[in-house]
Amino acid sequence: MTAIIHQFLCLKDNFGVLVHDPRTGATAAVDAPDSAPILSALAEKGWRLSDILITHHHADHVQGIGGLKAAFPGARVIGPLREADKIDAALDVAVGEGDRVAVGVLEIAALDVPGHTSGHVAYWLPEEALLFAGDTLFAMGCGRGFEEPAAVLFRSLMKLAGLPIETKVYCGHEYTLANARFALAVDPGNANLRLRAQEVSRRREAGEFTLPTTIALELATNPFLRADELDIQSMVGLRGAEPAAVFAELRERKNRA
């Protein structure tokens, strides 16, 4: 890996993430929840902002764009083509499935992952084995489907689940402890999950972040990626059902949790 990743909190539980290419000095912010902590992180590191990678149009992911552009007028705003009209800032580069952009010499591929919003994209760095999933995939959880049916969100999650298992995953929020509680309720026999939940609890009590995660860890412990498991299907009364239907029931239960 050559990219340097710096992660920090914005707002209440949003993550700010900087992706730095040490070879060229280029730096991208993944989403823009709040300009002040992002600018502070840039100053702390001595990095210049070259790009802003937007995953989706929700305010807590875009409202800091103006402040970042005021400080770094030359920074490119890169974001989802299908949501360009919903983002209150001009996109310099609109991306969708298969499009690639470069931050310095870091090659970044856009992945269409609709569900949480209709045009949500994730950013994948295949050579770095890094994924910035926004609000589609969380540690032991997934985003709420606001703009698309559950089946659409499930297909997006399965796309991400098919990435190389060593891929490190950065998500939009620190939701892991709450997600662990729900996961244990629907997958109580999962020994890997129980161990992970204990580790997550320890980290949060120590004030530590629980991210990044990995695709391998999510496949082992995230119930939303395990809708084909008979134990989970039985817990929600859908033993033998199609995984997409099991996922929809899991998501509805999480919505009510």
Q: Please list the active-site residues.
A: 56, 58, 60-61, 116, 135, 173
Could you give the CA distance from residue 73 to residue 224 in angstroms, rounded to a whole number?
A: 40
Distance separating alpha carbons of residues 119 and 106, to the nearest angstrom = 24
Q: Beta strand 130-132 with 168-170: parallel, antiparallel or unpaired?
A: parallel
d(CA 163, CA 166): 8
Q: Sheet of 213-214: strands edge to edge?
A: 100-103, 106-112, 121-125, 130-132, 168-170, 213-214
Closest CA to 131 of 31, 54, 213: 213
Q: Are 16 and 33 in contact (CB under 8 A)?
A: yes
Q: Which long-range contacts (CB under 8 A, 24 or more apart) does 227-231 make?
A: 227/154, 229/187, 231/187, 231/189, 231/190
The Cα-based distances of 52 to 32, 62, 84, 205, 214 in angstroms read: 7, 10, 14, 32, 23
Distance CA 216, CA 161 (A): 8
Residue with tokens 């402040």: 67
By DSSP bridging, strand 168-170 and strand 213-214 are antiparallel
